Every structure is written in C-alpha cells, then in structure tokens.
Structure 1
C-alpha cells in the first residue's frame, strides 16, 4: 500500500483539487480524517464527483467552516489523535489534511501531529502567486523540524517560473508539478490533465506501508 499526505501552505490553497487530481490520475482512494464545514457538502463528496474515487469515511465531521478545534468546541466536542485509526486499507491512498500544518486540532495537538501519526510522506500544495515563497518555506521548515518526510511541492495556479525557482532553491525541494486553474472544474477537465512524469515517478516510488 502506498500512502501520500496532501497538506497545504494555507487554507483554500487547492488541496482538494490536487487530491482529486491524484485520485483520478494515479489512481487512488481518498481519505480526509478531519472535515470542517459540512453544511454545503464535504470534500469527500467533491472528490468522489470529480475523480470517481472510493472515499473513506472521515474520523471527524464538523459543521462549521472553521479550524477543527474551534468547530469542535462549538459542538461541545474535543478532538484527539487517540481517536484516529490506522489509514484504511487501500493499494494507493491520498490523505488530505485540513488547512495548514499548524492548524490546531485541540489545545495540545496540531495538524502536523496527525501527519506524524499517520507517517505518510507529505506532498505540499502551494499557491503559485505572491506570498507563496514565504508560506511554502515556512511549511517546509515545520516539516523538517519534526523530521517528517517531504515528497515534494505542487504549485497551483498560473505558472510562475521565478517563484518556482525560489522555492526549489531555498526550500531544497522539487516542485513536482504545476497545476493551472481548471475552468470549468469538471470530472472531464480533471481527467484530461495528465500527471507530469516527475510527480508520477515520485508517487510510484513511495515506500509500501504494511497493513496493521
């Protein structure tokens, strides 16, 4: 089994579109352990529609479109990593985080702690435009401070060669793909956008995970 964890440099950076792209093109199952903001549907439903992927149930479904810790507080709940089971059995699995790496789950644990618990290499989703260099380098620093494996970076939006070069140079990381804005965002459009060879090769080279 090969697992990859899609995290973002910020919220609304494009993690779900990237996850759906991977699920459709690799192909793979999809799992989002923490889902905030379910009133208008979930990211699992969106990925299922776009990629036709098998989506595994969330560990936490929270109504408010807020940080998981705050959304849980509004429902009188407290999230805990102790409640997170091993990843579901799948030959290939895309795991999507919520928000950025340092988003709180509770008063003690952050999203990056979930990354560490699940042990899957991180594919970092980053905007292509202004501000991305700082956000991306800070996210890479956070992952390396915890000695967590980084698969690479995918930049989303209009290609920006200067930003890409800066991230690769200062971040000591490979930008494995640049995914432009897909308009309209449909299943057909997503499936028509092939994975670059560098990204596919990195995914295929992921170490296998032994089922617990």
Structure 2
C-alpha cells in the first residue's frame, strides 16, 4: 500500500494548503481534505485543484463540508451533524491510490477535535499516516512548533519532517535541531500563487529522498 502523508500545522493559517499543493504536485500524489469547515471562503480542495499542473493527481471530495469557520466538532454541532471518524477511515481506504501517496490535509493542528471523542492526532494514528509539519514564524511559534514535535514523538507517529512557510527566520534551524526532525524545505511568501509557483516550490522540497513507501 502506498503511504499516506498527513499535512498538519503548528496552528491555523500557517500555510498547510499551499504546502499540501506543492507536495501533491511534487509527488504526483492524490489530495484529500476529509473535513472542510468555513465554506463561505471556498474549499481547500478547490484551491489545490486549481494549483496542480500534473496530469496524474486527483483531488478527492471531502467527507464532510461544514459552513461555520470553526473547529470541526463545533461546526458540526452547529449544523447538528456528527462526524463519524470510522466512516472517514473507510473512505480513506477506498481513495488510497495503489502506486502513489495520498496527501491528506488536516484542519488546524494536532489537538483540533473532530468530534467529542477524537482529536486530529488520534485520527492520524488511525490512518497510519506519516506526518509533515508546516510551520511559520510568529510570536509564540517556537513553543507551538516544539509542542507539536513533542506530542508526535510521544505518540510514536512517524514524522517525515518540517516545511516552513512565509518569511525566513533563523528560528527554523533551531526548531529543526531541537526537534530532531528533518528540514524538508521552505515555501517563501509571494505576491502570486499559481501553478508555476507550486511546481517550482514542490520541486525544491526534499521529498524524493524521503522514504514514504
């Protein structure tokens, strides 16, 4: 079975969707966002689909789409929906390509609840996925990054490494060193995010030397 790669972030708005697009393009993987909230802003699936240029990748339909821009469990509660994690795992099994990775984008960070019993980190374990952590520099980001790394290590979840987004800061080297996880690359800030940018940045990431099968 080809490996599942789960894209998580050290927080919200750190560049997970753009990173997921770059990784999907670089590996000619399939992309899936199981739970989408905040539909008024559009879906991450539509964003990624519009940024891919290879003829192989498939962007799969979400398992749950919720209107409210909130954590999945709150958005679901407001719409009187129950997020069934077992059902999502079954969908993941059906979507998994035979010969390519499935890139799965999470909502927010590891401790975001999907329902009243299951957090994102539990979901990752059930998926048996490897993780790529997306980080960005802001006040408090070192704490968020290292907490994310610590809980992944404690949980025994395999981590492929870090992708940093936005403006460069020397904190990146320290986070990599302290965490012990590899530096896969960085995606710089740009005024124009298009297919060419995604392909260029995806090709620069250190993914093909990483074991994901």
Taking structure 2 as the reference length, the TM-score comes to: 0.90
- Structure 1 residue aligned with 2:153: 144
- The question of 1:73 aligning with 2:74 is answered no
Distance 1:20 1:197, change over 3 A: closer
Q: Deviation per CA, 1:129-153, whole angstroms, max 9, x where unpaired?
A: 4432111100011111211111101
Distance 1:111 1:23, change over 3 A: same
Point out where structure 2 has 5 or more consecutive residues left out of the alignment: none
- Structure 1 residue aligned with 2:16: 15
Q: Is the 8 A contact 2:3 2:130 kept in 1?
A: no
- The question of 1:173 aligning with 2:202 is answered no
Deviation at 1:38, TM superposition (A): 1.4
Aligned alpha-carbon RMSD (Å)? 1.5
- The question of 1:183 aligning with 2:191 is answered yes
SS of residue in 2 equivalent to 1:18: helix
Q: Is the 8 A contact 2:33 2:106 kept in 1?
A: yes
Q: Is the 8 A contact 1:129 1:158 kept in 2?
A: no
Q: Is the 8 A contact 1:35 1:98 kept in 2?
A: yes
SS of residue in 2 equivalent to 1:182: coil
Distance in 1, Cα, partners of 2:162 & 2:201: 17
Distance 1:27 1:4, change over 3 A: same
Q: Which stretch of structure 1 is more off in the superposition, 117-126 or 169-178?
A: 169-178
SS of residue in 1 equivalent to 2:65: strand
Q: Which stretch of structure 1 is more off in the superposition, 50-59 or 146-155?
A: 50-59
Point out where structure 1 has 5 or more consecutive residues left out of the alignment: 208-212
Q: Deviation per CA, 1:25-75, whole angstroms, max 9, x where unpaired?
A: 222110111111112321000000011441111111111111000000010
Q: Is the 8 A contact 2:23 2:202 kept in 1?
A: no
Q: Deviation per CA, 1:159-199, whole angstroms, max 9, x where unpaired?
A: 22x21221122111111101101321112222233433633
SS of residue in 2 equivalent to 1:6: strand
SS of residue in 1 equivalent to 2:124: helix
Taking structure 1 as the reference length, the TM-score comes to: 0.90
How many positions carry a matched residue from both structures? Answer: 204
Q: Which has the higher contact order (CA 8 A, sep 6+)?
A: 2
- Structure 2 residue aligned with 1:158: 167
